Structure 1
Amino acid sequence: MKPPEYPPKPVPGDRVAVLSPSSGLPGLLPLPYELALERLRTEFGLEPVEYPSTRKTNSTPQQRADDLHAAFADPDIKAVLASIGGDDQITVLPFLDRELIRAHPKPFFGSSDNTNLLLFLRNLGIVGYHGGCLMTEFGRPHSLHPLTAESLRAALFTHGPYELRPAERYRDTDRDWADPATFEAEPDSEPAGGWLWHRPERTVEGRAWGGNLEILSWLLMADREIERDVSAYEGGVLFLETSEELPRAEEVHRILRNMGERGLLARFPALLMGRAKAWSFDRPNDLQARRLYADEQREAVLRALATYAPHTMAVFDVDLGHTDPQLVIPYGGLVRVDGPARRITVTY
């Protein structure tokens, strides 16, 4: 498989598609969504275009696929942005027209359940962008986080290298999106502590592959969009993160163990592990419990690496995935992990 190609970028004034390939949550919780649309217009200079299922709950996989086809085929649409994630985007994949989308490559932004589409695009030869969901990033309470905004602007509008920087502070707790007061104040945050490096003796440059760990496990179970010949991933940079469902450390280890048994882990000489989401409305952990959760997840990852990829370099607590701030990772794009210099550079 040849390396994926970067599609043309939008410029201020362009129209961009706003879709819900997973959950139609904008129809249930409009406040962060409407805020995101306003920021797209006023802070990024882009004109959002909605589609029939964007605000529709319980839309069918075919309806969501139809929206994707319409957005990619429209020459006036210069990028496609997901409103949010969900849990059933895997059911949309069989309805997608590969030839239509391959013939009209465009930047796609999304994370979480959008790992499905990002992997689908990579397999078509199109670089996508892991990050930038409307409701979680563009619709962040009070204002966009400066690191998120900078990364989004670079990924949306520019080509070339971009150095990721560790956050000084991060947010793990959330507030009620149905309450207008949520969006009036800057969210609570806590010291981030920097990235943690494992085996940083060398420099690795390769194409990014991965995404949300739970979604990847479903794709593996369904035998969908993942190469059976794992040599196709040789020399790549693996990036992983977990969701607000807070999978137990043992479950994280089991998923990675199964990836190791398939021969996947050993193909990647570098791993970027997103900062663990350790709080949810169902499990409102206090600070001590959140730190314990993150420590246990890190130990689970290291245990799997020790068994299946003992020479892989790893960087933990990178601000990717279910994090605030959130850094955009070019899915299928180049990533350089410089262990001796403790630097990570992506190519947007």
Structure 2
Amino acid sequence: MTAPAYPPKPSPGDRIAVISPGAGLPGLFPRPYELGLERLREEYGLEPVEYPATRRMGSTPRERADDIHAAFADPGIKAIMASIGGDDQITVLPFLDRELIRANPKPFFGMSDNTNLLAFLRATGIVAYHGASVMVELGRPGAMHPQTADSLRAALFTSGPYELRPAERWRDVDRDWADPATFDAEPETRPGTGWTWLNADRVVEGRSWGGCLEILGWLLMADREVAHDLTEYDGGVLLLETSEDMPSAKEVFWTLRNMGERGLLRRFSALLMGRPKTWSFEQPNSPEAAARYAADQREAVLSAMRVYAPNTMIVFDVDFGHTDPQLVIPYGGIVRVDGPARRITVTY
């Protein structure tokens, strides 16, 4: 594969496509979606453009692929953002026209199930952006988290280095979007705990790959958008984070073990592990249970890395996954992990 290229950036006043490559949840929960659109207009100066499947649950994979094609092909659209994730975007990939998208590169923002499209774009030669969906990050009650807002602004409109910083305050407990009272005030947050560094005796600079661990597992099983020549990932930075489905420590270990057996883990010079989401509506953990879950996940990651990539530099609890704030990371772009200085810098 050739090295992905950064697509041209939008400017305030430009049009941005809002699509639902995974699930049409804006149709079920209009409040956070409309709030996110309002912030795109008022805080970022961008004009959102919707597509036929954006608000429609149950759209077919081909219909969602048609929206992706239309957004990339329209010369008046300068960037693309997912409304939210989902769980079946992998079924959209076979319908995508790689040459059409390659000929019309644009910045794409999304995460979670959008790991599928991020990996597709990287393999197509386009740098995309892990983070910032309309409903979750822009539709946050009360206000966007300031670190999310600043990171997104830099990723949207600027080029060059941007230093990521540990969350000053964070959260992973959600409130019900169906309850209007949810949007009366900002969600409760707790003090940040910083990042944890291992093997931090060197500086690594390389292209990123990865995303939501559950989605990566599916891509690997389906053998889609993963390079067969694993030298593609040599010296790179692996991004991993887990979703609100809260996979068990065993599942996390098994996925990483199998990535290790494939020879993937040892290719990367650094691993950024996202702060795990430890609470969900299906599993509303107490603070004690949440701490145990996070500790068990960290040990699962370490158990796999000790076997398959013992010298890889690891940074735990980086704020780029399903927790809040969500720092935007270029996917396929350059990430610099400076162990001695304990600094992470991305190139937007």
Name the SS of the counterpart of 2:80 in structure 1: strand
Structure 2: how far apart are the matches of 1:344 and 1:60?
Answer: 39
Q: Which is further off, 224-233 or 45-54?
A: 224-233
In structure 2, the gaps of 5 or more residues are: none
The equivalent of 1:135 in structure 2 is 135
Structure 2: how far apart are the matches of 1:285 and 1:174?
Answer: 12
TM-score of the superposition, structure 1-length normalised? 0.99
Structure 1: how far apart are the matches of 2:150 and 2:243?
Answer: 23
Name the SS of the counterpart of 1:114 in structure 2: helix
How far residue 323 of structure 1 moved from its aligned partner, in angstroms, is 1.4
The equivalent of 1:151 in structure 2 is 151
Name the SS of the counterpart of 2:137 in structure 1: helix
The equivalent of 2:341 in structure 1 is 341
How far residue 191 of structure 1 moved from its aligned partner, in angstroms, is 1.9
What letter corresponds to residue 256 of structure 2 in structure 1?
A: L
How far residue 178 of structure 1 moved from its aligned partner, in angstroms, is 1.1
1:90-239 paired onto structure 2 within 5 Å = 90-239=90-239
What letter corresponds to residue 36 of structure 1 in structure 2?
A: G
The equivalent of 1:37 in structure 2 is 37
How far residue 226 of structure 1 moved from its aligned partner, in angstroms, is 0.5
Structure 1: how far apart are the matches of 2:46 and 2:227?
Answer: 36
What letter corresponds to residue 241 of structure 2 in structure 1?
A: E
Q: Which is further off, 222-231 or 335-344?
A: 222-231
The alignment covers a number of residue pairs equal to: 348
How far residue 104 of structure 1 moved from its aligned partner, in angstroms, is 0.2
What letter corresponds to residue 84 of structure 1 in structure 2?
A: I
How far residue 179 of structure 1 moved from its aligned partner, in angstroms, is 1.3
Q: Which is further off, 184-193 or 78-87?
A: 184-193
Q: Does 1:292 align with 2:292?
A: yes
Q: Does 1:47 align with 2:47?
A: yes
What letter corresponds to residue 98 of structure 2 in structure 1?
A: R
What letter corresponds to residue 4 of structure 2 in structure 1?
A: P
Structure 2: how far apart are the matches of 1:80 and 1:42?
Answer: 17
**Displaced runs of 4 or more, over 2 A:** none
Structure 2: how far apart are the matches of 1:152 and 1:228?
Answer: 32
Name the SS of the counterpart of 1:197 in structure 2: strand
The equivalent of 1:316 in structure 2 is 316
Structure 2: how far apart are the matches of 1:230 and 1:253?
Answer: 21
How far residue 228 of structure 1 moved from its aligned partner, in angstroms, is 1.6
Structure 1: how far apart are the matches of 2:142 and 2:69?
Answer: 34
Alignment check: 8 A CA contact 2:140 2:186 kept: no
How far residue 169 of structure 1 moved from its aligned partner, in angstroms, is 1.5
What letter corresponds to residue 306 of structure 1 in structure 2?
A: R
Structure 1: how far apart are the matches of 2:50 and 2:185?
Answer: 28
Deviations 1:299-334 (A, max 9, x none): 100111100000000000000110100000100000
Structure 2: how far apart are the matches of 1:324 and 1:150?
Answer: 13
Structure 2: how far apart are the matches of 1:283 and 1:188?
Answer: 18
Name the SS of the counterpart of 1:292 in structure 2: helix
Q: Does 1:81 align with 2:86?
A: no
The equivalent of 1:261 in structure 2 is 261
Deviations 1:14-43 (A, max 9, x none): 001000000000000100000000000000
Name the SS of the counterpart of 1:4 in structure 2: coil
How far residue 230 of structure 1 moved from its aligned partner, in angstroms, is 1.1
Name the SS of the counterpart of 1:163 in structure 2: strand
How far residue 126 of structure 1 moved from its aligned partner, in angstroms, is 0.2
Structure 2: how far apart are the matches of 1:132 and 1:70?
Answer: 21
Structure 1: how far apart are the matches of 2:292 and 2:185?
Answer: 28
Alignment check: 8 A CA contact 2:272 2:315 kept: yes
How far residue 143 of structure 1 moved from its aligned partner, in angstroms, is 0.1
Structure 2: how far apart are the matches of 1:225 and 1:116?
Answer: 8
Structure 1: how far apart are the matches of 2:97 and 2:82?
Answer: 18
Structure 1: how far apart are the matches of 2:287 and 2:169?
Answer: 14
The equivalent of 2:24 in structure 1 is 24
Name the SS of the counterpart of 1:81 in structure 2: strand
Structure 2: how far apart are the matches of 1:168 and 1:55?
Answer: 34
What letter corresponds to residue 261 of structure 1 in structure 2?
A: E
Structure 2: how far apart are the matches of 1:100 and 1:20?
Answer: 19
Q: Does 1:282 align with 2:282?
A: yes
TM-score of the superposition, structure 2-length normalised? 0.99
Deviations 1:128-157 (A, max 9, x none): 000011001000010000000000000000
Structure 2: how far apart are the matches of 1:60 and 1:2?
Answer: 32
The equivalent of 1:328 in structure 2 is 328
Name the SS of the counterpart of 1:326 in structure 2: coil
Name the SS of the counterpart of 1:301 in structure 2: helix
